[in-house]
Chains A and B, each alone.
Chain A
Amino acid sequence: MNGNNNANKQMTLKDAIGKYVKDDCSITFGGFIGRDCVAAVHEIIRQGIKNLTVIDDSKTDMMDLLVGAGAVKRWEGAYLGYGAIGLAPNIRRSVEKGIPAKFELEDWSNAGISMRYLAGSLNIPFMATKSMLGTDILKYNQRIKVINDPYAGEPVALVPAAHPDVAVIHVQRADAMGNAQVWGFTGNDENKARAAKHTIITCEEIVATDEIRRQGNMTAIPFYCVDAVVQVPYGCHPQSCYGYYAYDVLFCGDYHEAAKDREQFLSWLDRYVFESEDHAAYCAKVGWSRLQNLMTMERHFNRIPG
Chain B
Amino acid sequence: MGNQKYTASELMAIMTAKEFRDWEVAFVGIGIPLVAGITAKRFHAPNLNIVYESGCIGPQKYRVDFNVGDSSAADGALCLTSEWRVFSDMQCGYYDVGVLGAAQVDKYGNLNTTAIFGSQDYQSPKVRLPGSGGGNDIGSNIGRVVVMLRLEPLRFVEKVDYLTTPGFLDGAPDARKRAGLLGSGPAAVVTDKALFRFDASTSEMYLDTIYPGVDVQDIKSLVGWELKISPDLKVASEPTDEELAAVRASDPANLIMGGVAARKRLSGLDEYIEVTIKNSGK
Contacts and interface: CB of A to CB of B under 8 A. Distances in A.
A31 B55 CA distance: 10
A302 B163 CA distance: 39
A114 B83 contact: yes
Contact of B131 (A34, A60, A79, A239): A79
A265 interface: no
A165 interface: no
Interface of B: 30-31, 34, 52-56, 62-63, 65-76, 80-84, 87, 90-91, 114-115, 122-137, 140-141, 162-166, 169, 175-176, 178-182, 255-256, 259-260, 263, 266, 268-270, 272-273, 276-277, 280, 282
B124 A185 contact: no
A129 B90 CA distance: 11
A167 B234 CA distance: 53
B82 A298 contact: no
A185 B72 contact: no
5 contacts: A80-B130, A81-B131, A131-B141, A188-B84, A302-B71
Contacts, number: 256
A96 interface: yes
Contact of A249 (B115, B123, B130, B255): B255
Given A88-B130, A110-B134, A115-B84, A302 B55 contact: no
Contacts of B84: 111, 114-115, 117-118, 188, 191
A83 interface: yes
A111 B82 contact: no
A135 B136 contact: yes
Contacts of A135: 136, 163-166
Interface of A: 31-35, 57-58, 60, 77-81, 83-88, 91-92, 95-96, 98, 105, 107-112, 114-115, 117-118, 129-137, 140, 146, 154-157, 183-191, 239-243, 245-253, 257, 290, 293-294, 296-298, 300-302
Given A248-B269, A297-B276, A133 B71 contact: no
B129 A84 contact: no
A88, A135, A155, A301 pick with most chain B CB within 10 angstroms: A135
B80 A185 contact: yes
Contacts of A80: 128, 130-131
B53 A130 contact: no
Nearest to B166: A134
Contacts of B62: 301
